[in-house]
């Protein structure tokens, strides 16, 4: 029985749970709200992972650079591309959310509101101050993600500066990051149950209207990701790397397929490395540096979704957002994407950071969690393609690419 259950790939179990959940909600009606605690259990379990995941994966990601001087030529360009594309991505999500209003007109008064963060009226000075961790331990206990990211980056830089003496601690963080990924995989096994309960709750309490809004959100998530992949990355390859776009995509097909099915940038790293080195001719040093760092901090699909989902939450709960709030979302959305670890569901967890910054009710997370996995698969494909695009572009700009190696269309 157990063996049979685990033999079915997780994503298939999730899709089945989604359909069953919707059916249960329709048949059982508003009473299916009694199942919601199972969904909350799942979300709580995922939230539990936030602090240790970010801390371990970010510190080990920075330490993976190996040499602080490497941050210069290659690192500087890669970081610039990561940040510029990340910003474009969040604004794309915000633009689509504003233009298509996926959550507009949905009556959510039947949903019991949980903890709603107060609307944000902090000044930018206060925001800068809030990024300084007064006490790292307190920051972790309160799950304050921004100062935690700052602290993790500093620890990573400290490890690099300590050179050999920092190595033992770097190893501890590497191993901690791997362990946390395993713990995450365990928690992810709860996904089908969480998805089932949350979909039954949404369908039972809010009915068809809610499903239509969620379907719009999923569709926009896919469209946004496809725009990023085929417009932004294509432009980067064509104009910055000056390489044939078709060959680039042919070269990374494997990585795209693996990332879509695993919903994990980290799990895809070996395939992304192989694709960039073997199919695209990127040098070993540039590809391992950019791809491993990118899997931790370069998440454009996730960044786009942060913008889109925050507007969705604001629309379903009638929260008015000002231009200042949009700016805030663009900052916290990018930081949230940086802080998200390359594992399934981490984008969902990081939404709390963005929601909290502009006063969107955290209940939105439970509302969208039922369909998150399907969106996560596409976000991850976008994230991984972005890592490959940046690695290829930086390699082309710094003469670290072997153009002969770049596979020709006939070879595949």
Which stretches of the chain bind ligand ASP, using CB under 6 A?
A: 263-265, 299, 302, 340, 342-347, 376, 379-380, 383
Q: Which two tokens stand for residue 272?
A: 């992304």
Side-chain-facing half-sphere of 286: CA atoms under 13 Å: 29
Q: Which residue, 159 or 263, is less far from ligand ASP as judged by CB? A: 263
Q: Which residue, 309 or 406, is less far from ligand ASP as judged by CB? A: 309
Nearest-5° Cα angle at 265, 259 to 267: 80
Q: Which two tokens stand for residue 367?
A: 């509302």
401 strand-pairing partners: 282
Q: Which residue, 277 or 296, is less far from ligand ASP as judged by CB? A: 296
- The whole-angstrom separation of Cα 178 and Cα 397 is 32
Of 131, 117, 135, 78, the C-alpha closest to 331 is 131
Provide the angle, in degrees to the nearest 10, between the axes of the packed helices 346-358 and 50-63. Answer: 110
> What are the backbone angles phi and psi of residue 404, rounded to the nearest 5°?
-60, -35
Q: Which residue, 86 or 345, is less far from ligand ASP as judged by CB? A: 345
Output the smallest distance, CB 167 to ligand ASP, in A.
27
- The whole-angstrom separation of Cα 210 and Cα 155 is 44
For every residue of 130-154, DSSP letters joined together read HTS-S-HHHHHHTT-HHHHHHHHHH
Output the smallest distance, CB 70 to ligand ASP, in A.
23
Output the smallest distance, CB 154 to ligand ASP, in A.
24
Nearest-5° Cα angle at 83, 77 to 85: 100
Nearest-5° Cα angle at 275, 156 to 170: 15
Output the smallest distance, CB 381 to ligand ASP, in A.
9
Long-range contacts, stretch 118-125, CB < 8 angstroms, 24+ apart: 118/359, 119/319, 119/358, 119/359, 120/325, 120/328, 120/357, 120/358, 120/359
Output the smallest distance, CB 354 to ligand ASP, in A.
12
Q: Which residue, 187 or 396, is less far from ligand ASP as judged by CB? A: 187
Dihedral (Cα; 210, 213, 215, 220), 10-degree rounding:
-160
Q: Which residue, 269 or 321, is less far from ligand ASP as judged by CB? A: 269
Output the smallest distance, CB 122 to ligand ASP, in A.
26
Q: Which residue, 106 or 362, is less far from ligand ASP as judged by CB? A: 362
Output the smallest distance, CB 3 to ligand ASP, in A.
27
Output the smallest distance, CB 262 to ligand ASP, in A.
8
Residue nearest to ligand ASP (CB): 347
- The whole-angstrom separation of Cα 346 and Cα 376 is 9
Q: Which residue, 287 or 346, is less far from ligand ASP as judged by CB? A: 346
């Amino acid at each position: 029985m157990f063996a049979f259950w685990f033999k079915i790939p997780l994503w298939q179990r999730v899709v089945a749970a989604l359909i069953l959940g919707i059916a249960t909600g329709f048949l059982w009606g508003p009473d299916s709200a009694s199942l919601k605690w199972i969904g909350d259990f799942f979300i709580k379990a995922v939230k539990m992972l936030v602090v240790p995941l970010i801390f371990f994966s970010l510190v080990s990601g920075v330490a993976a650079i190996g040499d602080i001087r490497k941050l210069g030529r290659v690192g500087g360009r890669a970081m610039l591309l990561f940040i510029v594309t990340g910003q474009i991505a969040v604004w794309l999500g915000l633009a689509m959310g504003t233009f298509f209003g996926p959550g507009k007109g949905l009556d959510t008064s039947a949903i019991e509101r949980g903890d709603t963060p107060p609307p944000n009226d902090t000044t930018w000075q206060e925001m800068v101050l809030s990024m300084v961790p007064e006490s790292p331990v307190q920051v972790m206990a309160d799950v304050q993600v921004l100062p935690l990211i700052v602290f993790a980056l500093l620890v990573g830089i400290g490890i690099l500066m300590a050179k050999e003496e920092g190595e033992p601690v770097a190893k501890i963080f590497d191993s901690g990051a791997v362990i946390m990924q395993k713990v995450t995989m365990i928690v992810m096994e709860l996904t089908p149950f969480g998805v089932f309960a949350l979909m039954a709750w949404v369908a039972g309490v809010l009915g068809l209207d809610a499903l239509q809004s969620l379907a719009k959100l999923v569709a926009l998530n896919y469209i946004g990701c496809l725009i990023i992949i085929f417009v932004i990355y294509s432009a980067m390859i064509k104009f910055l790397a000056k390489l044939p776009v078709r060959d680039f995509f042919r070269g990374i097909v494997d990585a795209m397929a693996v990332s879509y099915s695993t919903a994990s940038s980290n799990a895809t790293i070996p395939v992304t490395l192989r694709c960039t080195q073997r199919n695209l001719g990127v040098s070993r040093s540039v590809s391992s540096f950019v791809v491993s760092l990118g899997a931790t901090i370069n998440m454009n699909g996730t960044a786009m979704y942060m913008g889109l989902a925050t507007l969705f939450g604001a629309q379903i709960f009638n929260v008015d957002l000002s231009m200042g709030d949009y700016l805030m979302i663009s900052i916290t959305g990018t930081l949230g994407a940086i802080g998200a670890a390359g594992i399934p569901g981490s984008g969902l967890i990081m939404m709390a950071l963005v929601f909290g910054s502009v006063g969107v009710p955290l209940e939105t997370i439970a509302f969208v969690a039922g369909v998150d996995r399907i969106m996560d698969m596409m976000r991850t494909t976008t994230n991984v393609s972005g890592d490959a695009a940046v690695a290829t572009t930086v390699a082309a700009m710094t003469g670290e690419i072997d153009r002969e190696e770049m596979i020709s269309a006939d070879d595949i």
